[in-house]
Amino acid sequence: MTQNKNPAVEEIHLSDYWNVLKKRKVLVITFLVATVLVTMVMSFLMAPVYQATARMAIESESSTSPVTGQRMEYIDRASQQLTFNTHFTLIKSKPIILNLITEIAASEDEFNRLGDEISTNVVKEVIAQIKDAVQRVKTNIRLLLKKEEKKLTEQELLDQLVSDIQKKITIKNIPDTRLLDIKVMEGEPEMAARIANLLAKKYIEFDLENRLTSANDNLEWLNKEVYSMKKRLEDDEKKFFEYKQLNKVFSLSGKQKVIDQKIAELNNEYMLTRNRRQELDAKLSEINKQYKNSSDIAHIRSILNNIAIDDIYANLTNLELEQSRLAKVFKSKHPKVQQISSEITKVQLKLKSELSKEIKNLNVLQMVLRERETKMLTNIEELEQDGLDASGKEFNFTILQRNMDTSQHLYDTLVAKMKESGVVTGSASSNIRIVEYASLPMHPVKPNKKKNILLSIILGLFGGIGIAFLMEYLDQSVRTEEDVRGLLDLPVLSVIPIAEKGDKGGYY
């Protein structure tokens, strides 16, 4: 008969798994019991850890400018979260922990109770002895390896202590509130509650001290700025006063208005004079043109519009009419005709004389108007130049006055803010307060013996089952008829049973 090298793979049923567990039940139970026992021993040997919680409230506050008093930042949800994260970091910061250590060290001689505390408890005595043994082993190993033990300086020891305390502190924010919890894990319940309450108190003192320091720094800065602004104001006032003295002005705004008014009046008068002169030019041109021809005395008379000339001309007209009437009655040699002719000649000479005189007066008036027009133009130019000079002076005057007013306003604002900062510094308060002090914890949070035992049962059971199947997988021995048929594909001819030992020492 030949061995079948490729036996058929049989289907595995749940009963096969159950048979494996029955076969390895001792191993499973042993691993389960060992796991539970080890967990129980470790749980009972572990030093209990208590948790104390202190609750704080952080009120909202607005940040304002130290000068203007206006709000500088819009506080939204993201900004509020940043504020809380900042408080979380600061509460566990080194300065706060150092203040905490100093406070506790000042009231207790044995501060090492913050670390691995050793009491008269039997379990803790055993743990302490184990730690000492481990420490001695480490020391011997260093000696064998010829490695020197590193000695920590006081600062390094202090930093290590601060780090150990920071690991025991947990800061947690209560969602949708301005509350946060300070949780402290410590081996002694009294110490856990004391650290939680003292940490909250020290942080409030730290925050208040920072506010006072900030307020004092702000007040000092304001003092310096007030002194600097006062000196600047005095310099601006001095420059403004010297400028007014140098230019002999008190206020240029009134002077500028007077100049503008005079220029406007002169412009109006100049326009009237020029119009009058132009009318006179046209009148003289027309009179000279008509006077040369001596043909239209009536037109010249109408242009001159002179009452005396009009009277003479009316008299001349009457004489001419009388001459015409007499010429119809008498001859030219008649005495009446001769007399009227003589009178007409006299009146004509008088009319010419009056016309010449009036034209001469008009020429003089024309010359006067031209001179007045020229003088007005000169005066207007001088006033415009004065206006330009006054504008330049007013520009510098305005700049100096504005600088002085600005310095005065800033100085008054800084003085007011300095007084306000002094009041704030004297009444500074923190926006953080303790709403619930940590109470003495009655039960430790670690170790949770029930939870540990329950987990050890679950892990031990599953671990034992896993090891059982692993051992079954690694076991390649042939023990039963099924193994022979399954692995070798050979029929079983006979089975030799295990002989049992009899009472007399034999087997049957």
Tens digit of pLDDT for each residue in 61-102?
655 554 455 555 555 667 777 887 888 888 888 888 888 888
When pLDDT is averaged across residues 474-502 and rounded to a whole number, the result is: 70
Which residues share a beta bridge with 126? none
pLDDT beyond 60 at 253: no
- In which element (H, E) is residue 185 found? strand 179-186
pLDDT of residue 263: 81
Asked if 230 contacts 411 with a C-beta cutoff of 8 angstroms, the reply is: yes
User: In the 8-state DSSP scheme, what is residue 333?
Assistant: T
Asked if 314 contacts 302 with a C-beta cutoff of 8 angstroms, the reply is: no
pLDDT beyond 70 at 246: yes
Asked if 465 contacts 21 with a C-beta cutoff of 8 angstroms, the reply is: yes
pLDDT of residue 458: 92
pLDDT beyond 80 at 50: yes
pLDDT beyond 80 at 340: yes
At position 471, the amino acid (one-letter code) is: M
pLDDT beyond 70 at 499: no
Asked if 142 contacts 149 with a C-beta cutoff of 8 angstroms, the reply is: yes
pLDDT of residue 441: 86
Q: Quick one: pLDDT band at residue 494, thresholds 50, 70, 90?
A: confident
- How far apart CA 377 and CA 267 sit, in angstroms, is 8
Q: Quick one: pLDDT band at residue 114, thresholds 50, 70, 90?
A: very low
Q: How many alpha carbons lie under 13 Å from residue 324 in its C-beta half-sphere?
A: 6
pLDDT of residue 500: 65
Q: Which of 199-208, 236-245, 382-391 has the highest mean pLDDT?
A: 199-208
When pLDDT is averaged across residues 5-16 and rounded to a whole number, the result is: 59
pLDDT beyond 70 at 135: no
Higher pLDDT, 5 or 484: 484
373-379 contacts at long range (C-beta below 8 A, 24 or more positions apart): 373/270, 373/273, 373/274, 373/277, 376/266, 376/269, 376/270, 376/273, 377/270, 379/266
pLDDT of residue 459: 92
Asked if 432 contacts 203 with a C-beta cutoff of 8 angstroms, the reply is: yes
- How far apart CA 316 and CA 341 sit, in angstroms, is 11
> What's the mean per-residue pLDDT of the chain?
76
pLDDT beyond 60 at 47: yes
